[in-house]
Amino acid sequence: RKEVEQDPGPFNVPEGATVAFNCTYSNSASQSFFWYRQDCRKEPKLLMSVYSSGNEDGRFTAQLNRASQYISLLIRDSKLSDSATYLCVVSNNNDMRFGAGTRLTVKP
Amino acid sequence: NAGVMQNPRHLVRRRGQEARLRCSPMKGHSHVYWYRQLPEEGLKFMVYLQKENIIDESGMPKERFSAEFPKEGPSILRIQQVVRGDSAAYFCASSPSGGGAGYTFGSGTRLTVV
């Protein structure tokens, strides 16, 4: 089983749609959780941290379920500029493990 | 405040040559991580280093690959006797204290083996 698993997609959605990505992780001792965004042929950039209580940043909402070892990202009112690959990231003991990413394409 | 600097941005090597990839972490960051990304695939962890120490090299291939982070100068990822399968983007990240939201990536080095 992979350390971090994501649905690879692709997700093709129209502008304004709501889209949700899921991620599961295998190491129950994992301590920190993040979503990163990677544009084509660019480096990954931090989108947001994920907290047990859930957190929201504008149109983006992240949720963590430690019991199920599950992380989610919800994007509301999607924009063309949201098109990218979204990486689920799990951290334990000072190093980060990345999922393979979910590709999102938002179309006009 | 320069970010994580990687060079070269693009590197072309013939099969059997050596490739040296350099990474200068952000100022104040003492933790460096190397990842490899094959075309159309996700980031794969290779190695985690602090100054003069390899902390975790569980993702490094056993042969031909090595990494260092000397007391002075950048971190170096070295690939000896490159093969076509080594063609990939190699990303370096640094953090001030190990993991967490302070993790910042460089722009990567794209290695092409011909």
Look at B108 and A43 and tell me if their CB atoms are within 8 Å. Answer: yes
pLDDT given for residue A41 in this prediction: 84
Over residues B63-78, the mean pLDDT reads 95
Confidence of residue A43 (pLDDT cuts 50, 70, 90): very high
Look at B43 and A87 and tell me if their CB atoms are within 8 Å. Answer: yes
DSSP code at position B2: -
Place of tokens 């104040």: B28
- Name beta bridge partners: A61: A56, A74
**Which DSSP string do the residues of B35-80 spell out, in sequence order?**
EEE-TTS-EEEEEEEETTEEEE-TTS-SSSEEEE--SSS-EEEEE-
Q: Of B110, B111, B108, give the one whose Cα is nearest residue B34.
A: B108
The minimum CA-CA distance between A79 and chain B, rounded to whole Å, is 23
Most confidently modeled of A29-33, B78-82, B103-107? B78-82
Give the range among A48-62, A87-101, B65-79 with minimum mean pLDDT: A87-101
Mutate to test the interface with A, among B21, B26, B32, B43 (most CBs of A within 10 A): B43
